Chain A
Amino acid sequence: MSDLADIISRNEQQIRSEWIGDLHQTVQRSDLMSKAEMEEQCSALLSAVTEAVRSSGSEDVMTAGWRQTREYLEEISASRARQGFTATEVATFVLSLKRPLFSAIRRDMGKTQDKMFDTIWTATELLDRLALLTTDAYLAAREELISRQQQELLELSTPVVKLWEGILALPIIGTLDSARTQVVMENLLQTVVATNSKYAIIDITGVPTVDTLVAQHLLKTITAARLMGAECIISGVRPQIAQTIVHLGINLEDVTTRARLSDAFALALQMSGRTVVRQNASAAGSKVVLAGPLAKQEG
């Protein structure tokens, strides 16, 4: 549509200043982006659009002539998504170009109504497509951010720590769903083999609620560990959770459970034939050392 290209290139200067003025009033986020940066983006985008409309027309923004514009828009949207702009603000950035552009069209074509209407329609379609493009790019950037964070959460939240020779602890933070159970289970079992640990303490202090599904996942992990020859102790059972477990009728009778991690650790030490004694009973609270038969005596 050469009419549109003509109008834009003739009025580029004015459109730009009006557009920037509008943006300052509507979506200027001085907390997120400097004025100069915004103006620079406006100028670059406007000249890219002008160039693309002139060379490839405005019918299809997916053609090769629009590639540069598309990439620039996607880049802007993605960076705004990371900076914390909302979807509305990102779309408004492009849509606010309408008013200055329409005024320019009216100034140039005010006398021929039909032609003016056609040109405005073309311009609207073009800007709408560009706005949709920015929204898509914005969403894609957000999706990527979310999935990356999910992955990180999955990996971060399931550490297996060694408390003593032959005793592991697995503090679980957050809700246990199927995907996480899989990761937790694999992590635990691999570590059991790697460290040759007979006892594993699963600490559920950080699990907000225990329903039948979570319990089932826990039991699966415990059964798998048992099949390999390791024993699991569940610790960190809060009073409310104990009540919920009983009310739901979850059968944890075959599983050793303790209220606190320290109790579970003491139990594991005891089961592996170890005792903790204070070296000097009179110096209360001074030194705590591990005594008793320390030779390996798994059993």
Chain B
Amino acid sequence: MERIPVLRMGTLLLITIQVDMHDKLALQLQDDVTSRIAEWGSTGVLIDISSLEIVDSFIGRMLANIAAMSRVLGAETIVVGMQPAVAITLVELGMSLPGVRTALSVEAGMELLYGAGAGFRTGSEHERDEA
């Protein structure tokens, strides 16, 4: 059965959506993500949707759900690489995904997660200390 891979990168989970999402796939992904977080004790989830070109309200809600579920399990979710057309569609659908954090690229998203202390589980807002 078709399945979206969930990769483990240290304390993070990386999910790259490269196929058209359909509802069954989305539900399967929710199951996978939650069980992986519990299994590996992940503290951050990166969802890369830069290849996703079509969204509907279900997929939008799925993203919000995964973020909420991860938060309950103690992991921060960041959605990265959303296409302009997808963003406009979600806004027109009235889904602003208030609980979901976003970043422009996987790289930026990882910095955000590490900056947020995802590696140490401080749970605070991200604070950079470059010096």
Contacts and interface: CB of A to CB of B under 8 A. Distances in A.
B84 A189 contact: yes
Contact of A224 (B81, B84, B103): B84
A228 B83 CA distance: 7
Contacts of A227: 79, 82, 86-87, 90-91, 96-97, 102
A252 B61 CA distance: 24
B39 interface: no
A299 B111 contact: yes
Contact of B104 (A196, A223, A224, A293): A196
Given A225-B87, A228-B102, A297 B82 contact: no
A198 B108 contact: yes
A193 B82 CA distance: 9
Interface in B87-131: 87-88, 90-92, 96-97, 102-105, 108-109, 111-112, 115, 126, 128, 130-131
B102 A298 contact: no
Contacts of A297: 111, 128, 130
Contacts of A229: 79-82, 102-105, 108-109
Question: A185, A190, A193, A197 — which one has the most chain B CB atoms within 10 A of its CB?
Answer: A193
Interface string A184-197: 01100110110011
Given A229-B104, A293-B130, A297-B128, A220 B111 contact: no
Question: A185, A224, A225, A230 — which one has the most chain B CB atoms within 10 A of its CB?
Answer: A224
Nearest to B80: A229
Interface in A203-243: 220, 223-230
A299 B113 CA distance: 9
B126 A186 contact: no
Contacts of B88: 185-186, 189, 224
Nearest to B101: A229
A220 B92 CA distance: 8
A273 interface: yes
Q: Is the interface of B mostly helix, strand, loop or mixed?
A: mixed
Interface string A256-299: 00000000000000000100000000000000000001000111
Contacts of B96: 223, 226-227
B90 A198 contact: no
A41 to B, nearest CB: 51
Given A223-B96, A227-B102, A193 B84 contact: yes
Interface in A150-179: none
B112 A192 contact: no
A206 B116 CA distance: 38
Nearest to A272: B128
Interface in B26-56: none
Nearest to B108: A298
A299 B103 CA distance: 9
Contacts of B108: 198, 229, 298-299
Question: A228, A273, A297 — which one has the most chain B CB atoms within 10 A of its CB?
Answer: A228
A228 B88 CA distance: 10
A193 B83 CA distance: 8
B84 A196 contact: no
A192 B82 contact: no
Interface of B: 79-84, 86-88, 90-92, 96-97, 102-105, 108-109, 111-112, 115, 126, 128, 130-131
Nearest 6 Cβ contacts at the A-B interface: A189-B84, A229-B102, A229-B103, A224-B87, A229-B104, A227-B87
6 contacts: A192-B84, A198-B104, A227-B97, A229-B103, A297-B130, A299-B108
Given A228-B81, A228-B84, 9 more contacts: A185-B88, A189-B87, A193-B83, A224-B91, A226-B102, A227-B79, A228-B82, A273-B130, A297-B130
